[in-house]
Structure 1
Amino acid sequence: MKGGGKRPIHSVSTWVRRQPPKVKGFLAVVASMAALVLLRMIVHDHDNLFVAAEAVHAVGISVLIYKLTKEKTCAGLSLKSQELTAMFLAVRLYCSFVMEYDIHTLLDTATLATTLWVIYMIRLKLKSTYMEDKDNFAIYYVVVPCAVLSLAIHPLTTHHIFNRISWAFCVYLEAVSILPQLRVMQNAKIVEPFTAHYVFALGVSRFLSCAHWVLQVLDTRGRFLTALGYGLWPCMVLLSEIVQTFILADFCYYYVKSLVGRTAGASPPLWSGVTSEPASLRSG
């Protein structure tokens, strides 16, 4: 009876895996819409979704802290992703202090502090285990385009121009800050368990944040976009949320599939080999 309950899940997983990319993409969109409908029914105050997103991010950082303190190794972690994360959090904190101060400011402060601690551990305490040769993503490939884009497209509010550009910069940089971490996992050809948990937590966090923005737009029938400003900026905010969600969606799918497979005894875990390697970790 116990095994019979797992077979349907494995059968569905196997069926999805055999579908062509277009069908998988369609199923992903349908699943995302169903999740949004469910969240809209369960969560009445959709601002709580953004708080939940930051809380899940904090959980992911906690997983890293456990890995670094208990296992005394930073193997599989991208220092550059952590530095990009610290960068956009620092800019976002500056914007929070000069533009709006709320619960998100406190959450970002805690997350920045722990991220800086992770950077300290990788750079100094556990430097001998840092896979520097695998962490070869040039961060100026994302920092420079984000800076240029923020100069061109930023909020058209009454705030000082520097603050508006800074706000746009942190939004754009957050969307692509995980790319160096994905490159490390791609280069290593294997995903260490705690790193996988951390990246999955980021994926969940990004989905909740994206759901927050989408549901706010739906609830206000588009007026929420006007509140963000005029021009291309409101669309770019939504696009940034969607981009960072889909960057991690593929990895999260394979992460969940590997857990289901391990429970059912049907497939190896995500980090044991290339058979479960998501497209986001494959080269070319």
Structure 2
Amino acid sequence: MQIELSEFLYFSLFETFYALYFVSACIKAAGVWSLVQTITSKKTCAGISIGSQRLILIASLGRFVSLFYFEHGLYQLVEAIGIAGVVVTNYLIHTKYHVTYEKVYDTFRIEFLLVPAVLLSLVLHVDSSGPAVVDILWTFSVYLESVALFPQIFLISRTNNIENLTKHYIGALGVSRILEMVFWLYISFKTMHVMTWIPTYMAAASLVVGLSNLVHTVLLSDFLWKYLKSVKLSVKGILPTSMV
């Protein structure tokens, strides 16, 4: 089953709400590089899930290919900067600071997330004017990103605290995901209820992406609430009991 996308993305570039999409990419890139800076300054990757970082890297590489077909201008640059940060992060935690990695807590098996994302993207993916493999990779990256932080949340639940090393990073990704979700759900609503001349498949494409981002937001909801409280109090976050 395919969901057509074609000129929909290009049309939405000129929409006012596209600013949300761009800002979400900026926040995500800033969060990634803040993690790089924190790792290098504190010389540790304690509290970071390698599983999550591997999933994010895989999703980022899938999205990188689609940048040449779906995205334009500054958005391409911001996404490329963010992807570069993900690559650097993985390099640091797999090599230079691997000795500080808390393997005993990071036990979530990422294949439980990776395999379903692959299968789902093969069955249900966008259909643009680009090559089919690009459509599948882009959709795969969306699906995988929506659950990529689950190993990180699992690690946090085992340690029962949110390290200062990761809380701003995860908070930035959470805020970014909320903005992206609002953008896609807004576009879906507008194409279905306002611009009735636009084919239904375009609205369906945005709805699927929006719902994928909603999954990510729900997974992070408890953390984001605790994150805002810990930032306000400037203290180390303690995981909400509902996530333990």
Q: 2:198 matched to 1:235?
A: no
The residue number in structure 1 matching 2:105 is 134
1:245 to 207, 217, 220: 217
> What is the DSSP-based 3-state SS (H/G/I as helix, E as strand, rest coil) of the residue aligned with 2:95?
helix
Residues of 2 paired with 1:210 and 1:196: CA distance? Answer: 21
> What is the DSSP-based 3-state SS (H/G/I as helix, E as strand, rest coil) of the residue aligned with 2:161?
coil
> What is the DSSP-based 3-state SS (H/G/I as helix, E as strand, rest coil) of the residue aligned with 1:138?
coil
The residue number in structure 2 matching 1:75 is 46
Cα distance change, pair 210–90 in 1 and its aligned pair in 2 (3 A): same
Q: 2:89 matched to 1:113?
A: no
Give the length in aligned residue pairs: 229
**Aligned amino acid, residue 277 of structure 1:** P
Residues of 2 paired with 1:151 and 1:279: CA distance? Answer: 34
Determine if contact 1:153/1:233 at 8 Å carries over to the other structure: no
Cα distance change, pair 228–175 in 1 and its aligned pair in 2 (3 A): farther
Between Structure 1 and Structure 2, which shows a larger proportion of helix residues? 1
The unaligned stretches of length 5 or more in structure 2 are 1-14
Q: 2:233 matched to 1:277?
A: no
The unaligned stretches of length 5 or more in structure 1 are 1-43, 264-268
Alpha-carbon distance, 1:251 to partner: 0.7
Determine if contact 1:86/1:115 at 8 Å carries over to the other structure: yes
The normalised TM-score by structure 2 is 0.84
Residues of 2 paired with 1:80 and 1:223: CA distance? Answer: 42
Residues of 1 paired with 2:100 and 2:140: CA distance? Answer: 32
Cα distance change, pair 228–164 in 1 and its aligned pair in 2 (3 A): farther
Alpha-carbon distance, 1:226 to partner: 5.3
Determine if contact 2:69/2:130 at 8 Å carries over to the other structure: no
The residue number in structure 2 matching 1:85 is 56
Report sequence identity in percent.
29
**Aligned amino acid, residue 208 of structure 1:** L
Residues of 2 paired with 1:87 and 1:224: CA distance? Answer: 37
Determine if contact 1:185/1:191 at 8 Å carries over to the other structure: yes
Determine if contact 2:188/2:203 at 8 Å carries over to the other structure: no
User: Matches of residues 181-220 of structure 1 in structure 2 within 5 Å?
Assistant: 181-220=152-191
Alpha-carbon distance, 1:99 to partner: 4.4
Alpha-carbon distance, 1:71 to partner: 0.8
Cα distance change, pair 157–279 in 1 and its aligned pair in 2 (3 A): same
